[in-house]
Structure 1
């Protein structure tokens, strides 16, 4: 399948597909005219790559993960691979906790439960916040 066909089948731009190939995440053969020719299973590989990128894995980490996922036996995975993937997961958890705390702070300000101490000196307590009664 040509790169345009793979792009249409996956919804991924040809530019991104070229990047995936450059990074060693997918492979193609070259036709005599120089066009890239992808195997039909490239559609599933691209979907997997998209999912793993969306999960927060970098292309460098994906390069190490892909042989484990595809089972192509292209070598032994790095000993620290699981720890690196767990680190990405743990980083995401910390980001979620920070976002939750920020949202709760905004909820507190909007509900009137919390207000910066200096704000009373600057404006009336009800000047900027909607009436919640």
Structure 2
């Protein structure tokens, strides 16, 4: 599939897809006319890249991690111990963020409840 089709299927801009290639996260073949041609598994790869970015990982970490993840284009490579340690740190960071978000939601719930009670009393 061409870059525009991959962008539509994955919901990612063509600019982002080019960036992913520059970072070694995604690969394509070139047609004789120089256009990018992606395989059918590219959409799944792009979705996985997006998920890892959303988790707060940088492109360098994602590039290290992708070969260790199972996806449609083959089985995972064995991660080295330093990568596993880095990922544990990332997981702990995400857990802290989840806790912070839960506390923020509880605070908002309290404000909403108090504001609702004041509105009902008037």
For residues 68 and 48 of structure 2, what CA distance do their matches in structure 1 show? 12
Greater CA deviation, 98-107 or 20-29?
98-107
If you compute each CA radius of gyration, which structure gives the higher value, 1 or 2?
1
Detail structure 1 runs of 4+ shifted over 6 Å in the superposition: none
Q: Deviations over 1:102-128 (max 9, x none)?
A: 33344455656xxxxxxxxxxxxxxxx
Q: Which runs of 5+ in 2 are unaligned?
A: none
Alignment check: 8 A CA contact 1:52 1:62 kept: yes
Report SS of the residue matched to 2:118. coil
| Alpha-carbon spacing, 1:132–1:95, altered in 2? closer, same or farther (3 Å) | farther
Q: TM-score, normalised by structure 1?
A: 0.70
Q: Which has the higher helix share?
A: 2
Measured after TM superposition, the shift of residue 94 of structure 1 is 0.9
Where does the alignment leave 5 or more consecutive residues of structure 1 unmatched? 113-128
Find 1:93's aligned residue among 89, 95, 100. Answer: 95
The worse-fitting range, judged by mean Cα deviation, of 47-56 and 82-91 is: 47-56
**How far does residue 67 in structure 1 lie from its aligned partner after superposition?**
0.8
Aligned residues: 115
